[in-house]
Amino acid sequence: MQWLQGWLDRSREQIPNGSDADVSGPAGSAAGGLGSILNALDWDHVREEVDRESRSRVVFIGASGAGKSTLLNTLKGSTVSPASATPEIQEELRVEDFGLFAIVDVPAHSPNGQLHEGETAWFVLTSADLIVWVLDGAAGLRAWEHEWICRLRALGRPLLIVLNKIDQVADQASVAELNRTLACTLFPIEARDFQSINAGLLPHLVEASPNLATPLGREVLGWRRTAAQRVINRSMLVSGLVGTEPAPLLDLPLQVLIQLRLVLRLGAIYGEPVNDRYSGELLVTMASSVALRYVSQQLVKLIPFVGWVVSGALAAGGTWAIGELAQKYFENGRQIPRPAVRVPRPRRPALRIRWPQVKWPALRMRWPRVKWWRRER
């Protein structure tokens, strides 16, 4: 059993923390070895992890009037934070909390980026999974904003800077200048337009913090399908890589774990509470769709090299099939999609004889005989 333990330990070291294939955890490390894999299959452990992911936070921060409320309203598809054409004059940082999203309004003359421990804004920013500084493209970068951005970087949280109101920025050179000054790439958007956010911001949010795909899919209805596809593709990739492992049966628990997480994530995206009450029908359909694949995947591993690659492809295919099925299940309101009912078509006669339209008087004589022959059949 020592080689088995060694491989499991090595694979655990190679798998980065928080990835789909992560099998480490409090329960896992305590038991060690094969026990840790079995513990990783613990439903509660996996559920807790997906639940933690669903509670991620994105903070939009910037000057009053930069377009933070507009950005949030466009993402949500409704007015959750009223936008105002005239920026308010405020003395202190103001925080609005909307669950996944929070907005921090920074007063123009606040003591540049000074955050005090214990303040609400300090708490919101230090616990954020991603901070997005919204820069007003029409107003440009002001000195106090630059100072704030530098201090936020020092917090050590992932930080993105978006250049809003790009429709009011005529000069492309000024965008390049801003990129140089801030030493990063700014993402230009028009907060009032969902397409602009869809193409110019959402993919970058998920790239900066991959765990955001699940909560963003849940909160941003217009992006739900894309989020689900991203989650499926990511799991498929990890599953394929794990599937190329040469020893038969060793990757099986990991495959189950990856697929279990995938289903939980998809459930969370479609607003299903992360619990274990998924229908037996879903589980049976999923098990039957992958059972054969599992068997063939383990068998092809016996062929060196080519077999390992094929095994990876089969594993990825199985995870994709499960993801697609689960996505449709949640999309259909927890119903397994059925193929459309076929209406039986009327049976045609095997042989159809088309009688020529004969108008030539000499041939008219033959008609009665032909008709009689047809009736006999």
Residues making contact with ligand GDP (CB under 6 A): 62, 64-70, 83-85, 87, 164-165, 167-168, 190-192
| Min separation Cβ 138 and ligand GDP, Å | 7
3-state secondary structure 266-284: HHHHCCCCCCCCCCHHHHH
Contacted by 191, from Mg ion, ligand GDP, none: CB < 5 to 8 Å by type: ligand GDP
Cβ nearer to Mg ion, comparing 41 with 80: 80
What stretches of the chain show up as alpha helix (H) in DSSP? 2-14, 26-31, 33-40, 43-54, 68-76, 120-126, 143-154, 172-182, 194-200, 202-208, 213-219, 224-243, 252-269, 280-300, 306-331, 367-376
Cβ nearer to ligand GDP, comparing 197 with 282: 197
Q: Calculate the CA 92 to chain-centre distance.
A: 36
Site membership for Mg ion, residue 164 (CB under 5 A): no
Cβ nearer to ligand GDP, comparing 19 with 120: 120
Segment lying near Mg ion (by CB under 5 A), choices 15-23, 69-77, 175-183, 194-202: 69-77
Distances (CA, A) of 359 to 84, 254, 363, 365, 371: 84, 79, 8, 11, 16
Cβ nearer to ligand GDP, comparing 46 with 124: 124
| Min separation Cβ 86 and Mg ion, Å | 11
**Dihedral angle of Cα 11, 26, 49, 318, to the nearest 10 degrees:** 30
| Min separation Cβ 64 and ligand GDP, Å | 4
Residue from 233, 217, 235 nearest 225 by CA: 217
Q: Which residues of 255-283 are buried (b: 16+ CB within 10 A; e: fewer)?
A: bebbbbbbbbbbbbbbebebeeebeeebe
Cβ nearer to Mg ion, comparing 83 with 252: 83
Is there a contact between 334 and 281 (Cβ–Cβ < 8 Å)?
A: no
| Min separation Cβ 79 and ligand GDP, Å | 10
Contacted by 119, from Mg ion, ligand GDP, none: CB < 5 to 8 Å by type: none
* Amino acid (1-letter code) at residue 99: G
Q: How far apart are CA 214 and CA 207, in angstroms?
A: 13
| Min separation Cβ 68 and Mg ion, Å | 5
Our CA angle for 49, 55, 61, nearest 5°, is 140
Residue from 199, 214, 70, 72 nearest 129 by CA: 214
| Min separation Cβ 135 and Mg ion, Å | 15
Cβ nearer to ligand GDP, comparing 165 with 234: 165
Site membership for Mg ion, residue 73 (CB under 5 A): no
Contacted by 74, from ligand GDP, Mg ion, none: CB < 5 to 8 Å by type: none
Distances (CA, A) of 365 to 357, 372, 377: 13, 13, 21
Is there a contact between 316 and 240 (Cβ–Cβ < 8 Å)?
A: yes
Give the residue at shortest CB distance from Mg ion: 69
Segment lying near Mg ion (by CB under 5 A), choices 65-73, 244-252, 291-299, 317-325: 65-73
Contacted by 67, from Mg ion, ligand GDP, none: CB < 5 to 8 Å by type: ligand GDP
Contacted by 327, from Mg ion, ligand GDP, none: CB < 5 to 8 Å by type: none
Residue of 36, 39, 54, 69 that binds Mg ion (CB under 5 A):
69
Residue from 296, 228, 313 nearest 263 by CA: 228
Cβ nearer to ligand GDP, comparing 28 with 65: 65
| Min separation Cβ 192 and ligand GDP, Å | 5
The residue ranges that bind Mg ion (CB under 5 A) are: 69
